[in-house]
Amino acid sequence: MSDKRKKSKFITRDILRESIIESFKKLNPKYMIKNPVMFVVEVGFVITLLLTFCPSLFGDKGSNLRIYNFIVALILFITVLFANFAEAVAEGRGKAQAENLKKMRKDTVAKLLNPDGTTKVINANELKKGDIVLVENGDIIPNDGEVVEGIASVDESAITGESAPVMKERGGDFASVTGGTKVVSDWLKIEITATPGESFLDKMISLVEGASRQKTPNEIALNTVLVSLTIIFLIVIVALYPMANYSGVSIYISTLIALLVCLIPTTIGGLLSAIGIAGMDRVTKFNVIAMSGKAVEACGDIDTMLLDKTGTITFGNRLASDFIPVDDVRKLDLINYSVICSIKDDTPEGKSIVDLARRSEATINEEEYKNLDFIEFTAQTRMSGVDLPDGTAIRKGASDSIRNRIKEMGGIIPDDLDEAVNRVSKLGGTPLVVCVNNKIYGVIYLKDTVKPGLALRFQRLREIGIKTVMCTGDNPLTAATIAKEAGVDEFIAECKPEDKIDAIKREQEQGKLVAMTGDGTNDAPALAQADVGLAMNSGTAAAKEAANMVDLDSDPTKILEVVEIGKQLLITRGALTTFSIANDVAKYFAIIPAIFTVAIPEMQIMNIMRLSTPYSAILSALIFNAIIIPLLIPVAMKGVKYKPMKAEMMLLRNMLIYGGGGVIVPFIGIKVIDMIITPLVRILNIG
């Protein structure tokens, strides 16, 4: 995984203190019943506590039975407390982050712009969607919005953790601003796009506090399995009591409760919520806000990833590198017309064309053309340009779009155009064709660079069964060159927004889950259609609303890390479930011989751990059952170590480590605990 993870202590003193307090608060049966496995343990604690004061309540008799019942009750109470502590620690890390975010929201004021140009200072909570506010150097941006005028540096470190200020200006990818960030130079006029209580900051606070956390489908399914196992063991234990009496075996009720607690999957039952909460917490450490736990979990099941070429696979800073004239056009004429149709183009590509032309000694007066209405590039037309007062129409755009325009206007396609376009495409560049009226003048070579190391990362995804598809507006030749260099599985050339939606639907119709990234309003439908949609924080409000994840760093490649976190979440849950159920084998061999050996000496052969006394065996198994929960909290929070490999290999590896370990560790642990507590059991004369 990348190094973008925020470093933080696993548990601070404040989180520890709050978690201990919360552990006791969560003992409320109304809360505990949400976790049926641990609720059964709590009920067992209440019953054994009653038996401590009334040992003969169910007719049990034995020496120092009151002390034995009290010890069992105490261990059960600690077991519930440890399970609550695991969940409280996971929640506590989120609440600590929420408190820091709340500090940013306090006492923020806004300078509301009146129609006459004057400003009125109001509380940020009074702002409405569509209001225009002025923010100046040192001001906190009061709510989410879009820049409508001005240019300024904005410190987004409170949200993103990135110390370097970000330049915000009207138009382009950096027009969106987030409430709670700070202007550190100049000024901006911002149109508010969120109502109070629904800003991005409000959503972050709600999510990290866990207020909006709902159980995911996989969590619900696993919970159903755990409840089913608990019911089965409960029926077995209830049936065991009369059967034992019939066989002449006397079993204390507290011993039966101990057996039940040891057999039901308390380990995973106590850690299940913590694993889910920690999954969202790990995503947050990568500066990604997940709108639900379901989104994080879906990442682990992703089959196909749709990736934009620009910014994700390439650096996205496509810069003009050369002017290539065609049809015997003078290069200077091509340069001049390229400048005219790019003067008011605010995109990085447009600005780079003007810069290159200036260095190439363009001979036009730029001031003459600055008042012209610029025709912006759209995903549908795939061209931009200007119309001069004398009727001359200058356009630059994708090769096929310009060709179609020329044909419609009755022009002729130059013979050497294909050669120029193919030459640029084979270099992995983007060819922009320039035309004036119905005549093609030449090609602008836009150069981009594939990000290093992507081929290896895509290979890792391929190994775990994830297909990568590159979407690009480039022609098929350029797309094929970039796709080969980057190592993606497939590509969609000359891709329009509707093509992305169609591609997502095709994959989903085959039963596959799809992830994609986007930042523009035209990406919003595809982001909403995808199972995992990762929007850029620098993107439009529509994109962020449609997505179920937002990357605060606006780094499209982050989708690769997010998918790995989703995989890790599912693997962690599966590994700890395997460990928990495997534990039962060792606890079975500890308790069953202890219960029946006195009446049925032949069962001594099952006492393979050679535990000292029946009661030390039962208490040892119970103690191990309790202490394994806090010992596994770091694993639940940090996740099982994840390495990309085929599903069969991963299953075998985890079965050996967590299945085998789940059997071996309790055997060792219970034996060690038995050796430690045996002298105490003898001193107390329990039996």
Number of separate helices (H) and strands (E) present in the chain: 23, 21
Calpha distance 196→212 (Å, rounded):
18
Neighbouring CB atoms inside 10 A of 128's CB total 11
DSSP 589-637: HHHHHHHHTTT-GGGGGG-TT--S-HHHHHHHHHHHHHHHHHHHHHHHH
382 among annotated binding-site residues: yes
Residue entry with tokens 């630059």: 396
Q: What is the CA radius of gyration of the chain?
A: 33
Tokens of 442: 């030449």
Cα 590 to Cα 262, 417, 614, 660, 670, distances in angstroms:
10, 82, 9, 17, 8
- Phi and psi at residue 192, to the nearest 5°: -70, 130
383 among annotated binding-site residues: yes
108 among annotated binding-site residues: no
Neighbouring CB atoms inside 10 A of 207's CB total 21
Helices within 490-546 (DSSP H only): 497-509, 524-529, 541-546
Catalytic residue among 60, 281, 308, 448: 308
380 among annotated binding-site residues: yes
378 among annotated binding-site residues: yes
**Those residues with Cβ within 8 angstroms of residue 395's Cβ, 6 or more apart along the chain or in another chain:** 341, 375, 383, 384, 385, 402, 405, 434, 435
- Phi and psi at residue 641, to the nearest 5°: -60, 130
Q: Are strands 182-183 and 132-136 parallel, antiparallel or unpaired?
A: unpaired
Catalytic, 328? Answer no
**CA atoms within a 13 Å half-sphere pointing along the CA-CB vector of 242:** 4
At residue 189, the 3 state secondary structure works out as: strand
243 among annotated binding-site residues: no
Calpha distance 326→434 (Å, rounded):
10
Q: Please, are residues 541 and 193 in contact by the beta-carbon 8 Å criterion?
A: yes
87 among annotated binding-site residues: no
523 among annotated binding-site residues: yes
Calpha distance 148→133 (Å, rounded):
10
Cα 182 to Cα 101, 103, 108, 290, 316, distances in angstroms:
13, 13, 11, 23, 27
Calpha distance 288→292 (Å, rounded):
12
Residue entry with tokens 């009750």: 73
At residue 237, the 3 state secondary structure works out as: helix
671 among annotated binding-site residues: no
345 among annotated binding-site residues: yes
Fill in the DSSP letter of residue 117: S
Tokens of 635: 């694993």
Q: Please, are residues 393 and 405 in contact by the beta-carbon 8 Å criterion?
A: no
384 among annotated binding-site residues: yes
At residue 330, the 3 state secondary structure works out as: coil
Q: Cβ-count burial of 186 within 10 angstroms (0-12 exposed, 13-18 middle, 19+ buried)? A: middle
Give the residue numbers of the binding site for Mg(2+): 519, 523
Q: Which residues are catalytic?
A: 308
Give the residue numbers of the binding site for ATP: 345, 349, 377-384, 396
